[in-house]
């Protein structure tokens, strides 16, 4: 079956703009989580959605937001982009968020803010 699909793969934006990233989870998976990966901070949790509800949120400013649709697809939005938002954004899907359920990741969206 198809894996996790993230679009677009690459983005270049200028400071102050806003951006929307998309994640389509594996068919049947209802849990989607987002992570930001930078050389300096490593992998940091952004948020988690399950059945269209945000269940958990990481320590990021309000410029970072997300949502999940009824088909489990998820989007994240970053408004008023800053240079420090340049990162690889990874989406992970799980059948449901259990302790022993592995998360399957997409290939990520590489965002560059100039």
Residues that bind another protein (CB under 8 A): 31, 33, 35, 42-43, 45, 48, 50, 55-56, 58, 88, 90, 92, 94, 97-108, 110
Nearest to 3 by CA among 103, 111, 110, 99: 103
- DSSP letters of 73-102? -EEEEE-S--GGG-EEEEEEEESS--TTPP
Query: Among residues 15 and 55, whose Cβ is nearest to another protein?
Result: 55
| Alpha carbons 7 and 70: distance in angstroms, whole number | 18
CB of 114 vs another protein, minimal distance in Å: 20
Query: Among residues 18 and 101, whose Cβ is nearest to another protein?
Result: 101
CA angle 69, 47, 19 (to 5 degrees): 70
Query: Among residues 109 and 113, whose Cβ is nearest to another protein?
Result: 109
CB of 3 vs another protein, minimal distance in Å: 9
CB of 112 vs another protein, minimal distance in Å: 14
CB of 100 vs another protein, minimal distance in Å: 5
CB atoms < 10 A from the CB of 96, how many?
10
């Amino acid at each position: 079956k198809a894996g996790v699909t993230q679009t677009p793969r690459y983005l270049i934006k200028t400071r102050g703009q806003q951006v929307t990233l998309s994640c389509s989870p594996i068919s049947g998976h209802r849990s989607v989580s987002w992570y930001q990966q930078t050389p300096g901070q490593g992998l940091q949790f952004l948020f988690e959605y399950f059945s269209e509800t945000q269940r958990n949120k990481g320590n990021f400013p309000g410029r970072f937001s997300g949502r999940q649709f009824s088909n489990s697809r998820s989007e994240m939005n970053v408004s008023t982009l800053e240079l420090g938002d340049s990162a690889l954004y990874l989406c992970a899907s799980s059948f449901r968020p259990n302790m022993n359920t592995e998360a399957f990741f997409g290939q990520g969206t590489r965002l560059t803010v100039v």
